[in-house]
Amino acid sequence: MVRAERAINELTDVLADLVAAFTAAGHELYLVGGSVRDALLGRLGNDLDFTTDARPEVVKELLDAWAEVVWDTGIDFGTVSAQKQGQQVEITTFRADSYDGNSRNPEVEFGDTLEGDLIRRDFTVNAIAVRLQVDEQGGLIQELRDPMNGLGALARRQLDTPSAPEVSFNDDPLRMLRAARFVSQLGFELAPRVEKALRQMSEQITRITVERVQVELNKLVLGQDPTAGIDVLVRTGLGEHVFPEIGALQMTSDEHMQHKDVYAHSLQVMRQAIDREDGEPDLVLRWAALLHDVGKPDTRAQKPGGGVSFHHHEVVGAKIVRRRLRQLKYPKALISDISQLVFLHMRFHGFGDGQWTDSAVRRYVTDAGELLPRLHKLVRADSTTRNPKKARRIQRAYDQLEERIAEIAEKEDLARVRPDLDGNAIMEILDLKPGPEVGKAWAFLKELRLERGPLEHEEAVAELKAWWAENGESA
């Protein structure tokens, strides 16, 4: 608690006037929820959550007098937000909501007690409050309120619900996904009764819109240990309703026969990809690492001499990724990036069979485009062999590929491999008007550029004319 007190006291300059204003108006103000939890964990951020007995109209009036910016888009639900000196606050009137059991949208009812507000929260670690007051010297007085024993759960690093989990999850099924997300973000474990309820009620998640599911999945994937959160989804059955292709990997034997299944391998690749991140968590890389082998269940085939193969699983996997992410309404650019990484992750393995031509290296770089740094990380992370000799051989082969890329990049602009003649030059040389023939000629020159590298102008013109003489009428 000392760490939390210190963190909250550091905000005295910005919060003291706000607390004093609520006290002068005859109202209580409590820091609550994730803000208290994070303060206790030593990770308090700049977005603070408060609860109060004051009604929303009063809250807005007090914030208008205190803050630099106020927005009241959530006032119908009792929430008013504001910002001052870079500190964001969100203040919500005590709630005592009721649910109809069919949707996650409650009948909004304002409450009169802190305890009534706390018991309706998702998890006990988020149901701790700190009452704030101001002393005569202008300092903050802190009084901990923990009627749900959230401190005990925090000490155990356990997620439990204030009320029976069956009631809590029926009220708002999104809390089931939040459980998996908090496992990822906080490194906590589920209380046995919570996990039991998740298994029994997983189908209830279908009451939640895909947009809300997407938000929670992203937060989970960006957590400190997303593989733990993913494993909650899979083992409780939640994953069957939000991303069934992940759990399906459990049924597929890995071709190396060194992992119990492709699922375990995929989680390990995700962990290894995270180890290669530069600073901020990379949503695209993490999703691609988790899903890179998602096409294996559909391409599994028995080899004549024993074992299994997964030919073209990267092609099938890219299609599966695009389909599922579209259903979850992910942005088009993100879908394109993740599926392209899945599609390309096997390309490198041809390099290990023999020295690639310059043309093959150019195509590798061109097809990856801006995703090349992520592709490097994904391919290296995809090596989970327990054979140290083999692991060193794979990494050495990729070192050689990166060296080849660097060598060619010194001679030519690999970041933008374009034909040696643009569309205007093509039309002038072949006496064409804008149309599909110009596009086909451009595509020919692009292939030529990839195959042979930069050409002198005269050589490019000669190649274009020769191609046109042979293909002009049918182009």
To the nearest 10 degrees (0 to 180), the angle between helices 332-344 and 372-381 is: 50
pLDDT value at residue 375: 94
d(CA 117, CA 94): 5
- Pairing relation of β-strands 47-52 and 29-32? antiparallel
β partners of residue 190: 159
pLDDT tens column, 387-419: 788 888 888 888 888 888 887 776 666 555 666
| Dihedral over Cα of 387, 388, 393, 397: its sign | positive
pLDDT tens column, 49-97: 999 999 999 999 999 999 999 999 889 889 999 999 989 999 999 987 6
Residue 194: name the closest of 164, 156, 230 by CA.
164
What SS3 class is residue 419? coil
What SS3 class is residue 302? strand
pLDDT value at residue 258: 46
d(CA 297, CA 306): 17
C-alpha torsion 390→391→393→396, nearest 10? 180
The residues near 104 (Cβ < 8 Å, ≥ 6 apart) are 171, 172, 173, 174, 207, 208
Residue 92: name the closest of 122, 114, 64 by CA.
114
Residue found by looking up tokens 């009084």 in the block: 143
Tell me the CA end-to-end span of the chain in Å, nearest whole number: 76
Which stretches in the chain have pLDDT values below 70? 1, 97-107, 251-260, 351-355, 410-421, 472-475
Give whole-number Cα distances, 157 to 11, 151, 163, 293, in Å: 26, 9, 18, 32
Give, as one character, the DSSP assignment of residue 76: G
